A and B are shown apart, each in its own frame.
Chain A
């Protein structure tokens, strides 16, 4: 009998011990290493320190953040976002609608999705002459994160102030130290602190990860296969960004045939299979198949003969091509230059920001195609309201955009991070940033 009781107790305790092992622990410092700057647009620190009025959930849906609810009126010409009460900045000052309006006006001086933004009691009101059907998704963008008032004189060393889960605690020797904010409206994060080492080469990041000196490092798309071969803990977000070529529309490039010839000259398969090591998908459309459902209708094949025909012996002026970023982006730019030379274009890769052609990685955010397309176009510097409410209309919109050949899609690429074994519950948000507020660290035995 006792034996049965003991065995029963043992089986009863097994789920409890499993639950205890999976329960997140508070405390510890999460060490992150990145190649870029923490405060640049889309930088990790911005996502940890600041919040937007809305945010993307892990699955890509828009959900409330600093705004608890919103509603549109007048056929999406007017939006009213009600502010979450009792939210405080990390310096203790309360978040007000005036702070939100000031921050939004400061972050968007021109080409804003709205015509005006103003505070109305506990709400922030956006108005525009044209409809703004995707405003909640747009406000979840990094560009519209709400930053706090400028630190008072003498307290400038405290750095930027926001309402996020972490607050700046210091910066030294290339390491930005963030401390968990106890007053965060979402609740205190599990880790006590996050240390972000900036401007770290990817290979060095991986070395630090393998040596236990880092907990979270970046994994560029072209390195994902190696990361998997090395059995790293990789969390990735497929189709997180679009590799695209921006072409001007003025001067010698007013001839659309030349732009079409460029689009047809590029060997996307070689880019995807070799340079990005089969981690990307050749793209003929702006939105990926997983998001739009119609991407297969746009051809991503290389048609060199057709490109020659379109060029028709036109002598294009010498072209310059610049790529954002380093590594695979530069290599891709060189490959594109080679492809274009085959088609009769004299192309030179340059570092100049005023190049004729620009190779860029554009974000694909959220799980809704129309807002994602509008966000993408906005990031590409070609802002356009996308108000299609069905796939056919969206297809037509995208086709119209692509026929201009000013934005030539090349690849849909994933974004990935690799973490150490002690990091638990790490997820990527729809904006491909790691959600560190919900991550925790294993307690050392």
Chain B
């Protein structure tokens, strides 16, 4: 990752984190404010709803009182007191309930037995325990019905007439889906009623049989205006809490995974006089409006934050460009210098640290260039001197015999012709030999100056090594040299000029043989190293000093008595022509190892 990218990333992350932190803080605050407001609104709605519920209770009481005070009821009470025959009034409660729009109405005699019942006409003559208590307020009661079910109702008990305990009316309205539907609800409000399931009472039809333990929550028993409340199962925890504690409970209920499908629910337990919870009224207020507003604000916040982050990134780009550009120029210049372009320069801007660095870099490169030029000059002189020395040395050896031979010939002119002829014959042979020797020397120099272009072929390194081994192993055996070959079992394809590389390897093997006049071991090995193949030629000779290792591939440098110093230079040239590299590892007395690295060809 470049400096610019790092800077960009750093600045961008900083900006994004800052914007996100601000946005998060704002959103959390907004959410808490909305939640608070929602709770206040819910409490208000629930309070209104409870007032309406109490109002309905009062209505029930008024209605029953109105029926009890009606002429019909008074006449009936009078006639009953006169005749004592209740049978004609079997259907009276139904008629009165129908007129007064009451769901439940029972006419109860002074002895507490039912004279007439609208909800269960067949129950005449049976006692009504609820009529035994004197009470003015409305109360909740679970009423058994002929079909075996029970219904929950708001009841009121009133006497007919003003004279003591006589005939009474026990009337009420059913707390059910219709009652819930009748209640005024605010937009977004859903009212549900959970009625406790009660087992059929069996023998004692009038006994109040409170459940011994709380029955399992049955979602089908939670009804709203349109029947079973959607997502009723989600209300279970809240309703169970209200059922168990008998206290009003509130919570947010998530109907689906979507937040907007959540409701703020208040569960209001409805209990009878003995505190038994008979039903739970659930008032659910949709949070969709609040959630939608929150989401709207969140969307705006996200948009602003996104724009802020984008602007921050753009600004970061500009800043990082300004900061990193001079550094990148410096890096590029340094790369150029590393690549050999000593003329690389960086623009000098400003007087800050970057500008100072640029000036120092330019000064450094100019100094390096001048030093390099001086070094090249000196090396060139040294090379020429070495070349001259080598040429002088190489040419001196054949020239001396030539000079002696020519001087012999000059001296031989004074000899008789026969002797002169003999001397002449010998001298001309010597001259031809030495001239041939000179030609050989000149040929070698010529070869070094004219290396052929490689003709590439695909060849496995193992074949290459085997070929060298098969060529030199017989000769090596005669010199008390041991040949070891260590090859990888994997294919090691190379794209090389087989002859040139063979010659290079041969040269290394010959050098190794020369380095072990008293015998030793030559090891040839080849192993793949990633995308390259590494070929090693090692000997167990005297080894090389570090200085020798440094100069070993310099042309005309040799450690041999009669070497031209071109062998390893040629090897290096061949390896370089194959995009490879050669190195030597050695220590004095520990042998030397030449390592050729060549790129692996595609299989």
A contact set with B: CB distance below 8 Å: 225, 267, 270, 273-275, 277-278, 331-332, 334-335, 337-338, 341-342, 344, 346, 348-349
Would you mind naming 17 contact pairs between A and B with Cβ atoms under 8 Å apart?
A225-B88, A270-B125, A274-B90, A275-B90, A277-B87, A334-B121, A334-B146, A338-B123, A338-B205, A341-B201, A341-B202, A341-B205, A344-B202, A346-B202, A348-B148, A349-B146, A349-B147
Distance (whole angstroms) from the CB of B56 to the closest CB of chain A = 29
**Cβ–Cβ < 8 Å partners of B86 in chain A:** 274
**Cβ–Cβ < 8 Å partners of A277 in chain B:** 87-88, 90
B interface SS class: loop
**Cβ–Cβ < 8 Å partners of A270 in chain B:** 124-125
Please determine whether B203 and A342 come into contact, CB atoms closer than 8 angstroms: yes
Instruction: Give the distance in Å from the alpha carbon of A270 to the alpha carbon of B113 in the complex.
Output: 14
Counting CB contacts under 8 A, is B183 at the interface? no
Please determine whether A341 and B122 come into contact, CB atoms closer than 8 angstroms: no
Contact of B122 among A334, A342, A346 (CB under 8 A): A334
Instruction: Give the distance in Å from the alpha carbon of A173 to the alpha carbon of B203 in the complex.
Output: 49
**Cβ–Cβ < 8 Å partners of A273 in chain B:** 87
One digit per residue, 1 when the CB lies within 8 angstroms of any chain A CB and 0 when it does not, for chain B 65-89 equals 0000000000000000000001110
Find the B residue at minimum CB distance from A318.
B200
**Cβ–Cβ < 8 Å partners of B123 in chain A:** 338
Please determine whether A278 and B87 come into contact, CB atoms closer than 8 angstroms: yes
**Cβ–Cβ < 8 Å partners of A334 in chain B:** 120-122, 146
**Cβ–Cβ < 8 Å partners of B318 in chain A:** none
One digit per residue, 1 when the CB lies within 8 angstroms of any chain A CB and 0 when it does not, for chain B 185-213 equals 00000000000000011111100000000
Other 5 A-B pairs with CB < 8 A, given A277-B88, A338-B123, A341-B203: A270-B125, A274-B87, A278-B87, A334-B146, A342-B204
Task: Pick the 4 closest A-B CB pairs, nearest first.
Answer: A334-B122, A335-B122, A274-B87, A334-B146
Please determine whether A274 and B125 come into contact, CB atoms closer than 8 angstroms: yes
Find the B residue at minimum CB distance from A343.
B203
Counting CB contacts under 8 A, is B126 at the interface? yes
Instruction: Give the distance in Å from the alpha carbon of A348 to the alpha carbon of B202 in the complex.
Output: 10
**Cβ–Cβ < 8 Å partners of B204 in chain A:** 342
Within 8 A of A (CB), among B115-132: 120-126
**Cβ–Cβ < 8 Å partners of A346 in chain B:** 200, 202
Find the A residue at minimum CB distance from B115.
A274
Please determine whether A337 and B124 come into contact, CB atoms closer than 8 angstroms: no
Contact of A344 among B125, B126, B148, B203 (CB under 8 A): B203
Distance (whole angstroms) from the CB of A281 to the closest CB of chain B = 15
Distance (whole angstroms) from the CB of B92 to the closest CB of chain A = 12
Distance (whole angstroms) from the CB of A304 to the closest CB of chain B = 11
Distance (whole angstroms) from the CB of A341 to the closest CB of chain B = 5
**Cβ–Cβ < 8 Å partners of A331 in chain B:** 121-122
**Cβ–Cβ < 8 Å partners of A225 in chain B:** 88
Given contact pairs A337-B146, A338-B205, A274 touches B124 in the complex (Cβ within 8 A): yes
**Cβ–Cβ < 8 Å partners of A275 in chain B:** 90, 122
Find the B residue at minimum CB distance from A226.
B88
Distance (whole angstroms) from the CB of B188 to the closest CB of chain A = 41
Within 8 A of A (CB), among B33-64: none
**Cβ–Cβ < 8 Å partners of A337 in chain B:** 122, 146
Distance (whole angstroms) from the CB of B314 to the closest CB of chain A = 80
Instruction: Give the distance in Å from the alpha carbon of A207 to the alpha carbon of B276 in the complex.
Output: 49
Within 8 A of A (CB), among B372-396: none
**Cβ–Cβ < 8 Å partners of A344 in chain B:** 202-203
**Cβ–Cβ < 8 Å partners of A349 in chain B:** 146-147
**Cβ–Cβ < 8 Å partners of B124 in chain A:** 270, 274
Instruction: Give the distance in Å from the alpha carbon of A335 to the alpha carbon of B202 in the complex.
Output: 15
Distance (whole angstroms) from the CB of B144 to the closest CB of chain A = 10
One digit per residue, 1 when the CB lies within 8 angstroms of any chain A CB and 0 when it does not, for chain B 202-234 equals 111100000000000000000000000000000
Find the A residue at minimum CB distance from B202.
A346
**Cβ–Cβ < 8 Å partners of B148 in chain A:** 348
Instruction: Give the distance in Å from the alpha carbon of A208 to the alpha carbon of B125 in the complex.
Output: 34
Instruction: Give the distance in Å from the alpha carbon of A267 to the alpha carbon of B205 in the complex.
Output: 15
One digit per residue, 1 when the CB lies within 8 angstroms of any chain A CB and 0 when it does not, for chain B 302-346 equals 000000000000000000000000000000000000000000000
Please determine whether B203 and A348 come into contact, CB atoms closer than 8 angstroms: no
Instruction: Give the distance in Å from the alpha carbon of A278 to the alpha carbon of B86 in the complex.
Output: 12
Please determine whether A338 and B202 come into contact, CB atoms closer than 8 angstroms: no
Distance (whole angstroms) from the CB of B302 to the closest CB of chain A = 62
Distance (whole angstroms) from the CB of B116 to the closest CB of chain A = 9
One digit per residue, 1 when the CB lies within 8 angstroms of any chain A CB and 0 when it does not, for chain B 270-308 equals 000000000000000000000000000000000000000
Instruction: Give the distance in Å from the alpha carbon of A97 to the alpha carbon of B203 in the complex.
Output: 59
One digit per residue, 1 when the CB lies within 8 angstroms of any chain A CB and 0 when it does not, for chain B 493-509 equals 00000000000000000
**Cβ–Cβ < 8 Å partners of B120 in chain A:** 334
Instruction: Give the distance in Å from the alpha carbon of A398 to the alpha carbon of B227 in the complex.
Output: 53
**Cβ–Cβ < 8 Å partners of B90 in chain A:** 274-275, 277
Instruction: Give the distance in Å from the alpha carbon of A277 to the alpha carbon of B203 in the complex.
Output: 27
Distance (whole angstroms) from the CB of A224 to the closest CB of chain B = 12
Instruction: Give the distance in Å from the alpha carbon of A388 to the alpha carbon of B366 in the complex.
Output: 150
Instruction: Give the distance in Å from the alpha carbon of A331 to the alpha carbon of B91 in the complex.
Output: 11
Instruction: Give the distance in Å from the alpha carbon of A338 to the alpha carbon of B120 in the complex.
Output: 10
Instruction: Give the distance in Å from the alpha carbon of A335 to the alpha carbon of B126 in the complex.
Output: 11
**Cβ–Cβ < 8 Å partners of B126 in chain A:** 338
Distance (whole angstroms) from the CB of B89 to the closest CB of chain A = 9
Instruction: Give the distance in Å from the alpha carbon of A267 to the alpha carbon of B125 in the complex.
Output: 11
Distance (whole angstroms) from the CB of A351 to the closest CB of chain B = 11
Distance (whole angstroms) from the CB of B84 to the closest CB of chain A = 12
Find the B residue at minimum CB distance from A341.
B205
Find the B residue at minimum CB distance from A344.
B203
Instruction: Give the distance in Å from the alpha carbon of A417 to the alpha carbon of B126 in the complex.
Output: 33
Find the B residue at minimum CB distance from A336.
B122
Instruction: Give the distance in Å from the alpha carbon of A346 to the alpha carbon of B123 in the complex.
Output: 16
Distance (whole angstroms) from the CB of B312 to the closest CB of chain A = 76
Distance (whole angstroms) from the CB of B474 to the closest CB of chain A = 113
Distance (whole angstroms) from the CB of B114 to the closest CB of chain A = 11
Find the B residue at minimum CB distance from A271.
B122
**Cβ–Cβ < 8 Å partners of A332 in chain B:** 122
Find the A residue at minimum CB distance from B87.
A274
Instruction: Give the distance in Å from the alpha carbon of A93 to the alpha carbon of B204 in the complex.
Output: 65
Distance (whole angstroms) from the CB of B148 to the closest CB of chain A = 5
**Cβ–Cβ < 8 Å partners of A335 in chain B:** 122
Instruction: Give the distance in Å from the alpha carbon of A335 to the alpha carbon of B123 in the complex.
Output: 7
Distance (whole angstroms) from the CB of B200 to the closest CB of chain A = 6
**Cβ–Cβ < 8 Å partners of B121 in chain A:** 331, 334
Given contact pairs A225-B88, A337-B122, A342 touches B202 in the complex (Cβ within 8 A): no
**Cβ–Cβ < 8 Å partners of A342 in chain B:** 203-205
Instruction: Give the distance in Å from the alpha carbon of A335 to the alpha carbon of B121 in the complex.
Output: 8
**Cβ–Cβ < 8 Å partners of A338 in chain B:** 122-123, 126, 205
Instruction: Give the distance in Å from the alpha carbon of A334 to the alpha carbon of B145 in the complex.
Output: 10
Find the B residue at minimum CB distance from A273.
B87
Distance (whole angstroms) from the CB of B49 to the closest CB of chain A = 37
Instruction: Give the distance in Å from the alpha carbon of A346 to the alpha carbon of B203 in the complex.
Output: 7
Find the B residue at minimum CB distance from A276.
B87
Find the A residue at minimum CB distance from B126.
A338
Find the A residue at minimum CB distance from B124.
A274
Find the A residue at minimum CB distance from B123.
A338
Distance (whole angstroms) from the CB of A134 to the closest CB of chain B = 37
Instruction: Give the distance in Å from the alpha carbon of A341 to the alpha carbon of B205 in the complex.
Output: 7
Among A225, A267, A338, find the residue whose CB has the most chain B CB atoms closer than 10 A: A338
Instruction: Give the distance in Å from the alpha carbon of A259 to the alpha carbon of B223 in the complex.
Output: 41
Among A267, A277, A331, A349, find the residue whose CB has the most chain B CB atoms closer than 10 A: A331
**Cβ–Cβ < 8 Å partners of B87 in chain A:** 273-274, 277-278
Distance (whole angstroms) from the CB of B421 to the closest CB of chain A = 156
**Cβ–Cβ < 8 Å partners of A267 in chain B:** 125
Please determine whether A348 and B122 come into contact, CB atoms closer than 8 angstroms: no
Instruction: Give the distance in Å from the alpha carbon of A216 to the alpha carbon of B202 in the complex.
Output: 45
Find the B residue at minimum CB distance from A350.
B147
**Cβ–Cβ < 8 Å partners of A341 in chain B:** 201-203, 205
Distance (whole angstroms) from the CB of A305 to the closest CB of chain B = 14
Distance (whole angstroms) from the CB of B457 to the closest CB of chain A = 101
Distance (whole angstroms) from the CB of A110 to the closest CB of chain B = 36
Contact of A348 among B125, B147, B201, B205 (CB under 8 A): B147
